[in-house]
Amino acid sequence: MSSTEEFQPGEARERDGGWWHKMICVECGQPVNNVHYKYRGGSIRLTICEFCHNVADKYVEHELVIIFLDLVLHKAQAYRHLIFNRMEYCESGLQTSDFQLVFYIIIMEAYSKTRANDPQEWSALAEPDQWQGYAPSLAAWSHFGVWVAVCTVQMVLYCLASVAAARLLFSARFPIVKYNYLVKCVILANFGRCFYGLLLVWDYDHPAIFDRMVDLFVFSSSFVAVRVWTGSGAMVALYIVLAGWSARLAVQQAVLHAGWVLDPPTQSLLVTANFAARSLPLPRSEPL
C-alpha cells in the first residue's frame, strides 16, 4: 500500500507508529497533504495537485448551495469534497451527522410511501381549509410506523450488503480498507430523499410515480458515490450498488408478500379506478 496508485480513498495509512489520513484531490482522487495554505490576515491559497495539476479542492471557496447543486448534477468532485475533505476523519464507525441524515431520509421516505399507499388520508393535509385541527387517523399513523420500520431495515441491509460485496472485492487486495467510508457514501447518496419534502408543499395526483423517480435518482447517485469510494472502474461500483439495492428490494418484496402494505403502483391504480368509477354516470334502471 505504499504506492499512490494503490491508495484507496478513505483508507487509513500508518505513519510513525500512528494513524493519519490524507485529504484527496477532488479532480483525480490522489492524496494531498492539504487543500489550502492559510496566511496571516486570513487569506488562503488553494493547493495545486501534483498529479493532475488542477486545484486540489475548488469547493473550499464555494458555498454549500453550489456543492448541493453539484451533488444533484452527479459530480464526483462534490462527493470527494464532502466525504474526504470536509468531514472530520473517522477511524471507525459513523459520526453524529451521518445518523442525523439517516433519520431524515427514513422519515421522508416513510412519509412518501405512506402517502402513496393511503393518498385519501394524507393528501388532506394539503387542503388549506383542513389545516387547522386536522390530524391523520390512528390507522394512518400505524401505517406510517410500519413504513418507518421497513425503511430502517432497508437502509441497514442496503449498507450491510454493499459492505459485504466490497469485502469480496477488496479484502484480498488491500489489507486496510475503510469500509465505514463506503457506508458514508451510501448514506450521502440518499440525499435525494429530501425531494420527498416537495410532497408537503405540492399535491401530486400520482405520488407513486414521484417515488419511482426519486428511487432512480438515488440509484444513479449511489453509483457515483460508490465509484468515488472505490476509485476504480464502473463495473466494480455497479456490482456494489446492485448488491445493496437487491437487499433493499428483497425487504420490500417480503413486506408486500406478507400483506402488510400495498405496493404503491397497485394502490395508485386502485385509487384511479375508484375515482373513475365514481365519475361515471349511474346506469339507467330502464331502457330509453
Q: Which amino acid makes up residue 56? A: A
Count the alpha carbons within 13 Å of 69 in the hemisphere toward its beta carbon. Answer: 6
pLDDT at 142: 82
pLDDT at 160: 95
Pinpoint the alpha helices (H) of the chain: 64-72, 76-80, 96-117, 119-122, 138-170, 179-189, 207-230, 234-258, 264-279
Residue 212 has pLDDT above 50, yes or no: yes
Residue 112 vs residues 108, 119, 137: alpha-carbon distances, Å = 6, 10, 17
Q: Report the distance separating Cα 144 and Cα 150, nearest Å.
A: 10
Residue 76 vs residues 59, 98, 113, 225: alpha-carbon distances, Å = 12, 19, 29, 7
pTM to 2 decimal places: 0.75
pLDDT digits (tens, 9 = 90+) for 61-108: 888 899 999 999 999 999 999 988 888 888 778 889 999 999 999 999
pLDDT band at 136 (very low <50, low <70, confident <90, very high): low
pLDDT digits (tens, 9 = 90+) for 153-189: 999 999 999 999 999 988 777 777 789 999 999 999 9
**Between residues 5 and 232, which one has the greater pLDDT?**
232
- Residue 46 near residue 36 (C-beta atoms within 8 A): yes
Residue 141 vs residues 43, 62, 200: alpha-carbon distances, Å = 53, 41, 16
Q: What cell does 66 get? A: 453550489
Sign of CA dihedral 127, 131, 132, 137: positive
Residue 230 has pLDDT above 70, yes or no: yes
**Interaxial angle between packed helices 138-170 and 234-258, expressed in degrees from 0 to 180 and rounded to the nearest 10:** 150
189 Cβ neighbours under 8 A, 6+ residues apart: 79, 218, 221, 222, 224, 225, 226
Which of 4-18, 46-60, 172-186 is most confident? 46-60
Which of 9-13, 149-153, 270-274 is most confident? 149-153
Cα-atom radius of gyration of the chain, to the nearest Å? Answer: 24
Average pLDDT over residues 188-194: 92
Neighbours of 219 (CB within 10 A): 16
Sign of CA dihedral 4, 18, 57, 217: positive
Q: Which amino acid makes up residue 288? A: L
Pinpoint the alpha helices (H) of 32-95: 64-72, 76-80
